[in-house]
Amino acid sequence: MTGGAGYIGSHAAKALRAAGHRPVIFDNLSAGHREAALDHPIVVGDIRDLDAVRRALRQSGATAVMHFAAWLSVPDSVRDPIGYYRNNVEGALTVLEAMTHEHCHHFVFSSTCAVYGEPIETPLRESHPHRPINAYGQTKLAVEQALPHFERAYDIRFVALRYFNAAGADPDGQLGEDHDPEIHVIPRALHAAANGTPIDIFGDDYPTPDGTCLRDYVHVTDLADAHVRALRRLESGGASAAYNVGTERPTSVHDVVNAVERVTGRKIERRQAPRRPGDPAVLYASAEKIRSELGWTPRHAELDAIVRDAWNWHSRHPTGYEGKG
Ligand SMILES: NC(=O)c1ccc[n+]([C@@H]2O[C@H](COP(=O)([O-])OP(=O)(O)OC[C@H]3O[C@@H](n4cnc5c(N)ncnc54)[C@H](O)[C@@H]3O)[C@@H](O)[C@H]2O)c1
């Protein structure tokens, strides 16, 4: 599991272990946390280092790779496309190349709804045109487009999971979201509630009912479950595929802040800020395909339940994981 010490990867590792797998984490800890790796074996290394990835695959005897490692800030990708192409595209290709050498044939890829770009139709189906409007989405699409070639030439079957907005935290309270800087609205709103500071609302003049962006917040534990199911599909000989992973519910930034106020019982000051570059107005999923083909449904779809789990972790870890790095 590349990036397995990160937010989504760590939750997926826990779910895979519970499903009887033996996850091994490969992470350079640039944004991940050793503590988030729990007691899974961890190899500290960079996905762009072919020899290191090959060695990790060989020594762990891995039969599948789940590839979470990437950078994921839309505005940063607009400012630094070189860095994003190197980490997200070159990094993924290096992992795939290592797999071809080490005879590893199953690949689960962390893709994103950002591959669609500005929607021409919602909810977004997998067949919606792919026209990313930022470098981040473009890097993920580039990897998705490479995958069928790797399948034809090297027999690597894949599942690309197009996550919508990952949110919440492990309901057992063991794992949570600790990004620095934090770019996601739920932890930013929780931080604002905890510290009595204002929250910036990036754009309130979008063509949506309350003027703020609409997104689809999916509980990280439900995302983790999608990985268990994706791997099962590959192991049972299923064909390569791409799936949306979302709740099908459009939620505005104000809805999120309202939920945080309800859950924490604290009022949050909202401060208008300019739009961020590369942010489409509306992104929410049709999850029909993953429901019918993988039997996946979100079990924690209520916004307040998502926020409550995030708040439980945040209030016990106000500065995030203790031993940083
Ligand atoms: N968080 C979301 O809402 C969201 C939505 C859609 C897609 N995704 C995708 O899901 C994946 C995981 O996201 P996350 O929120 O858990 O992010 P994260 O930053 O918490 O985790 C990414 C992990 O990858 C590691 N990493 C990054 N570059 C690396 C490199 N070169 N070598 C080795 N390790 C490296 C980091 O240290 C980190 O542990 C990413 O691929 C992201 O693009 C996330």
The ligand 1 atom at the shortest distance from the C-alpha of residue 91 is 31
Strands 106-112 and 64-67: parallel
- 54, two tokens: 């090959």
Ligand 1 pocket check: which of 24, 25, 26, 30 to mutate, most ligand atoms within 8 Å of Cβ? 30
Indicate if ligand 1 lies below 6 Å from the C-beta of 56.
Answer: no
pLDDT at 17: 98
Q: What is the pLDDT confidence band of residue 280, given thresholds at 50, 70 and 90? A: confident
pLDDT at 302: 96
**Percent of the chain with pLDDT strictly greater than 70:** 99
Q: Which of 224, 102, 247 is nearest to 164 (CA)?
A: 247
Ligand 1 centre to CA of 209 (Å) is 31
Indicate if ligand 1 lies below 6 Å from the C-beta of 70.
Answer: yes
Please work out, in degrees rounded to the nearest 5, the angle formed at the alpha carbon of residue 176 by the alpha carbons of 171 and 181.
155
* pLDDT tens profile 141-162: 999 999 999 999 999 999 999 9
DSSP 131: B
Indicate if ligand 1 lies below 6 Å from the C-beta of 31.
Answer: yes
Q: Inform me whether the pLDDT recorded for 325 exceeds 50.
A: no
Q: What is the pLDDT confidence band of residue 323, given thresholds at 50, 70 and 90? A: low
Catalytic residue selected from 84, 116, 136, 284: 136
The answer to whether the beta carbons of residues 318 and 267 sit under 8 Å apart is no
Indicate if ligand 1 lies below 6 Å from the C-beta of 168.
Answer: no
The C-alpha atoms of residue 183 and residue 73 are separated, in whole angstroms, by 7
Place of tokens 């016990």: 316
Q: Inform me whether the pLDDT recorded for 315 exceeds 50.
A: yes
Which one-letter amino acid corresponds to residue 18?
A
The ligand 1 atom at the shortest distance from the C-alpha of residue 5 is 39
The answer to whether the beta carbons of residues 13 and 23 sit under 8 Å apart is yes
Q: Which of 85, 269, 90 is nearest to 193 (CA)?
A: 269
Indicate if ligand 1 lies below 6 Å from the C-beta of 10.
Answer: no
> Is 163 a catalytic site residue?
no
Residue 181 preceded by cis peptide, ω within 30 = yes
Average pLDDT, the chain: 96
Alpha helices in 6-120 (DSSP H): 7-18, 50-60, 74-79, 81-84, 91-101
The ligand 1 atom at the shortest distance from the C-alpha of residue 45 is 33
Q: Is the pTM of this model over 0.95?
A: yes
Q: What is the DSSP string of 254-293?
A: HHHHHHHHHHH-----EEEEPPPTT--SB--B--HHHHHH
Q: Which of 300, 316, 303, 225 is nearest to 258 (CA)?
A: 303
The C-alpha atoms of residue 317 and residue 238 are separated, in whole angstroms, by 40
Q: Inform me whether the pLDDT recorded for 43 exceeds 50.
A: yes
* Cβ burial 21-50 (10 Å sphere, 16+ → b, else e): bebbbbbbbebbbbbbbbebebbbbbbbee
Cβ atoms within 10 Å of 235's Cβ, excluding its own: 13
Place of tokens 């005879």: 103
* pLDDT tens profile 77-122: 989 999 999 999 999 999 999 999 999 999 999 999 999 999 999 9
Indicate if ligand 1 lies below 6 Å from the C-beta of 170.
Answer: no
pLDDT at 324: 55
The answer to whether the beta carbons of residues 217 and 256 sit under 8 Å apart is yes
Please work out, in degrees rounded to the nearest 5, the angle formed at the alpha carbon of residue 121 by the alpha carbons of 117 and 125.
75
Indicate if ligand 1 lies below 6 Å from the C-beta of 52.
Answer: no
The ligand 1 atom at the shortest distance from the C-alpha of residue 48 is 31
Q: Inform me whether the pLDDT recorded for 126 exceeds 50.
A: yes
pLDDT at 201: 97
The C-alpha atoms of residue 192 and residue 203 are separated, in whole angstroms, by 18
